[in-house]
Structure 1
Amino acid sequence: MDDPIGASATALADAIRAGELSAETVLDAHLDRIADHEELNAFVTVIEDSAREQARRADEAAEAGESLGPLHGVPVAIKDLMQRKAGVRNTLGLAPLSDHVAETDSVTVERLEAAGAVILGTTNTPALGHTIKTDNRLQGSTPTPFDDGHSAGGSSGGSAAALAAGLTTIATGSDIGGSLRVPASCCHVASIKPTFGRVPSDSEGLDRFNDHSPFLVLGPLARSVEDVALAYDLLAGPDDRDPFSVPETPPVSDRIDRPAAQFSVAYSPDLDLQPVAPEVRETVGGAVDDLASAGATVDERDPDLPSYAELSEAYMAQVGLSFAAIATQIEERFGIDFETADVVDTVPSTIALGKSADALETQLQNVPRTAAYDAIEAVLDEYDVLVTPTLTVPPYSRDLADGYPTEIDGEEVMGVPTDQMLTWVFNMTGHPVAAVPAGRTDDGLPVGLQIVGRRYAEADVLAVATAIEEARPWAAEYPFAES
């Protein structure tokens, strides 16, 4: 292997264990790319000294004929929010926490390092991960590497941009409404939002019971489905620090290479919920056609969801309350007043939304949420998976100050994040969702699709994702591969 940039995690780990590449050489190649692409604002903190120590350990183990695990010497980046490494800044995307240093490793970091990973650093996220543009007062905005005028998405935008630019091999993220899948769509990478409870979380000093309304999950991003599956297997499994974590299920990595003909697919171009831009509908439709040509049974089928107005009101009520609760704890812990703190305007307004919520009314929002769950279950009773676009539009402008589109396919929308994505419904229902590239627009902007499966059926959604990757490969489309 001449160039480690763009190689898969498995290929890198195998080459390092075999002595064909040194982990330090791999690290240096990625550190050089990070330095050469500072304009992306993908990384908040690069931890070179620690990473070099881990790379040396990987090389010493290889020389001794020992394996550190499936990620032996592989560079990994972690989102600067719920994932943390002891002794490294953990800012949560907040300028007031620019000097805050994590005291403990998160369970995610523990498991990655136990598998031999080299942690490169932390990636950019909007303040408290509150929206789908990665932009904050600490670091600035992060664009998609495909066009610097357009956003990398959010809230795991730094992780997705780092992957698309070849700055890391695997990255982590979190998702309460689309924060893994939206950046995957904007940056032409793959990810998975696991079933709630499959990947444990252990927020440092914060409420660990807050993740259920709507479901907040952690998960990996990578350039290939194979690497997403590998990372998912390493991250999944119970942990006593997470009161919602569930017992182990069999690994998915050895169950994702299956013929497309094994799967029945329900395809909904818009969930019968909101308008979708023609270029998104065309691109995703083309990917679904390729999946059918590969042998999958595909029928167009819309779930019988509540109206957009009713369902988005339920989502915003619950996510607003969850966000306000976390923000209040952070205010108390760190002495921050979000009314006067150096944060973007959308932070205090989102907090205010939650603080004004009525407890009984918020609880009753589980009625339309239940209807949405039943509607998705009804589709999945007939089909193995449900496929939809990830975003309703191509990547939007990069800066929060620019706002969001207020018209989609000639139809006026509110210009709020829920207009721009079809992801948040599945944070209300808790189903696992894989996200993969569908193609690119005539302007070269990435478009993604999402694959929804039955609860705990991560292997199925990743197998369909693999079939799409085989039918419509994207590995050669990254900027570093095209140059």
Structure 2
Amino acid sequence: MTTETTHVSATQLAAEIRRGERSPIDAVDAVFERIERNDDLNAFVQLREAEAREEAAEAAQAIENGEPVGPLHGVPIALKDLDSFIEGMPCTYGSKPFADHVPDRTTVIVERLLDAGAIVVGSTNTPEFGHKGDTTNPLFGATGNPFDPSKTAGGSSGGSAAAVAAGMVPIALGSDAGGSIRIPASACGVYGLKPTAGLVPEDSRPDALESAAPFICLGGLTTTVADTALLLDIVAGDHPRDPLSVPDERLDYLAATNRAIDDLSIAYSPDFGVFPLEDEVAARVDTVVDTLERAGATVERTDPDFEPSFDEMMEAEYVTFETVLASTAESLERREGVDLLPDHREDLSPKLVQLMENGYDHSAVAFKQADVVRTATYDAIQNVLDDHDLLLTATLGVPPFEKGRLGPETVNGEPIDPHMEWLLTWPLNLTGQPAASVPAGLSDDGLPIGAQLVGPRFGEEELLAASAAIERRQPWVDDLP
């Protein structure tokens, strides 16, 4: 029986477990051995070792008994230490004041994965309350990049991306409010898709509507496109506890990864017409154009015609994101009795304090006027998608930089906002359209660079088909450490 599972996809691992060629016990054993071996990356912050081993034994017995099993039966997965949690395992939000916080419930996305047979082995590192694109926090420290542990793994789902890229688990959950799935996917050379807003339910409490502005979406980080497709097949669909969720249209996302793309028209705007890009990033994304054309797609250079200025769009993202952070602080004070800014300021990340304070300063009118900018941004992107099936850009303006930094201070020698201006991801959180980061190759220093594919609302099948076509012709799994 095979026991080594490094970089074996979830779809392959699940199939081999069902056939009795791999044991869930051995798969879980291998996960904990690799987590220990890769301790220097600081990807995991919580472990369910005893529970996972017990669940693996039960999964193995089910196979031996010939019982019906789910599509992820016996497959180890990781959660993000922020907004996907399982009852009884600490969820700290990467924050010292919540170091001992233990949820008394399991979130919907995790329940669906458990029903599919997955085994939760632990949770992964995140910047405090997911507030930035580098995974560093005062409670657990920084997560390193598997390609170079001194470099950033991205954020805020950086622990999940590092865990997948290092082969610790085949699937790790993430969330995306400004690029937090796509940023670390690009930085760590794995695949990450932010679904259409509402496609994957989020039963957040006490605010069931918090994912509306900016659009906050749940998803995962995987080594293969098929694994993300399988994940969507399992977790997509409305839920009565999420008033923003949308009905399941019974689409077959996994089947979409085998579709030809010779009927797809793709607009190509490497920089959205407004973002700065390092030259080697632009060069790697250009290779994806060639790959798509070799797969039969038609690619045309087209920039969105944004009516709002770049600064207005960036301000809209700041206003919505900062207001959500301030509202989160208010809810935690009311629900948990933890008053973050007055009582724990010294324990928090300085940037988080600044963002929360800004959020308290925004008026309700400013918050709603940001929706006017969001609407114009949506229209600009949708105008492109009216004439094309997908839009291709870079994911990030730069390759991975030193971990622990907020972001680069310059791109091509020009000064930028280190929190926002190197991320080509957040416009899609203003608008809610689905977007994926696809590995596009390595920089001259051997660090991953990602390309971003954008689709119309509920265009996940086309996104997955194009992503899989790139993967077949430009495979990235062999680049992983």
TM-score by length of 2: 0.97
The answer as to 2:73 corresponding to 1:72 is: yes
1:274 — aligned with what?
Answer: 275
Structure 2: distance between partners of 1:104 and 1:382: 45
1:293 — aligned with what?
Answer: 294
Q: CA deviation at 1:452?
A: 0.6
Structure 2: distance between partners of 1:90 and 1:343: 16
Q: CA deviation at 1:146?
A: 0.5
Q: Is the 8 A contact 2:137 2:349 kept in 1?
A: yes
1:380 — aligned with what?
Answer: 385
Q: What per-residue deviation string (whole Å, max 9, x for no partner) do you get for residues 47-76 of structure 1?
A: 011111111111011101123211010010
The answer as to 2:63 corresponding to 1:62 is: yes
Higher mean displacement: 177-186 or 325-334: 325-334
The one-letter code sitting in structure 2 at the alignment partner of 1:421 is L
Which of 433, 449, 465 matches 1:463? 465
Q: What per-residue deviation string (whole Å, max 9, x for no partner) do you get for residues 343-389 of structure 1?
A: 11111111011100011122112222111111111100110000111
Ranges of 4+ aligned residues in structure 1 off by more than 6 Å = none
Q: Is the 8 A contact 1:143 1:398 kept in 2?
A: yes
Aligned counterparts, 1:336-375, within 5 A: 336-339=338-341, 340-341=343-344, 342-375=347-380
The one-letter code sitting in structure 1 at the alignment partner of 2:455 is G
Structure 1: distance between partners of 2:406 and 2:210: 28
The answer as to 2:134 corresponding to 1:133 is: yes
Q: CA deviation at 1:336?
A: 2.6
Q: Is the 8 A contact 1:17 1:65 kept in 2?
A: no
Q: CA deviation at 1:150?
A: 1.0
2:236 — aligned with what?
Answer: 236
Q: Is the 8 A contact 1:151 1:397 kept in 2?
A: yes
Higher mean displacement: 77-86 or 251-260: 251-260
The answer as to 2:155 corresponding to 1:154 is: yes
Q: Is the 8 A contact 1:273 1:307 kept in 2?
A: no
2:417 — aligned with what?
Answer: 414
**Residue aligned with 1:150, SS:** strand
2:255 — aligned with what?
Answer: 254
Q: CA deviation at 1:26?
A: 0.8
| RMSD, aligned CA | 1.2
1:315 — aligned with what?
Answer: 317
TM-score by length of 1: 0.96
1:219 — aligned with what?
Answer: 219
Structure 2: distance between partners of 1:77 and 1:189: 15
Structure 2: distance between partners of 1:166 and 1:183: 15
Structure 2: distance between partners of 1:462 and 1:19: 29
2:90 — aligned with what?
Answer: 89
- What are structure 1's unaligned runs of at least 5 residues? none
2:203 — aligned with what?
Answer: 202
Q: What per-residue deviation string (whole Å, max 9, x for no partner) do you get for residues 234-270 of structure 1?
A: 1111111111011111231112212231211101010
**Residue aligned with 2:172, SS:** strand
**Residue aligned with 1:449, SS:** strand
**Residue aligned with 1:397, SS:** coil
Aligned counterparts, 1:25-36, within 5 A: 25-36=26-37
The answer as to 2:446 corresponding to 1:441 is: no
Q: CA deviation at 1:3?
A: 2.1
Structure 1: distance between partners of 2:6 and 2:149: 21
Aligned counterparts, 1:389-404, within 5 A: 389-399=394-404, 402-404=405-407
Aligned counterparts, 1:112-127, within 5 A: 112-127=113-128
1:331 — aligned with what?
Answer: 333
**Residue aligned with 1:419, SS:** coil
Q: What per-residue deviation string (whole Å, max 9, x for no partner) do you get for residues 78-125 of structure 1?
A: 101111110110111111111111101111111111001011111111
Structure 2: distance between partners of 1:67 and 1:226: 22
Q: Give the number of equivalent residue pairs.
A: 475
Q: Is the 8 A contact 2:134 2:406 kept in 1?
A: no
Structure 1: distance between partners of 2:436 and 2:149: 26
The one-letter code sitting in structure 2 at the alignment partner of 1:411 is E
Instruction: Tell me: CA distance 1:126–1:403, structure 2 relative to 1, closer, same or farther (3 Å).
Output: closer
Q: Is the 8 A contact 2:3 2:26 kept in 1?
A: no
The one-letter code sitting in structure 2 at the alignment partner of 1:206 is P
Q: Is the 8 A contact 1:338 1:347 kept in 2?
A: no
Q: Is the 8 A contact 1:91 1:100 kept in 2?
A: yes
Report sequence identity in percent. 45
Q: CA deviation at 1:2?
A: 5.4
The one-letter code sitting in structure 2 at the alignment partner of 1:162 is A
Instruction: Tell me: CA distance 1:97–1:67, structure 2 relative to 1, closer, same or farther (3 Å).
Output: same
**Residue aligned with 2:283, SS:** helix
Q: CA deviation at 1:404?
A: 2.1
Structure 2: distance between partners of 1:405 and 1:255: 37
Structure 2: distance between partners of 1:365 and 1:13: 44
Q: CA deviation at 1:338?
A: 2.5
Aligned counterparts, 1:168-179, within 5 A: 168-179=169-180
Q: What per-residue deviation string (whole Å, max 9, x for no partner) do you get for residues 195-254 of structure 1?
A: 111100112x42111111110110111000000100111111111111101111123111
Q: Is the 8 A contact 1:252 1:458 kept in 2?
A: yes
Structure 2: distance between partners of 1:230 and 1:388: 25
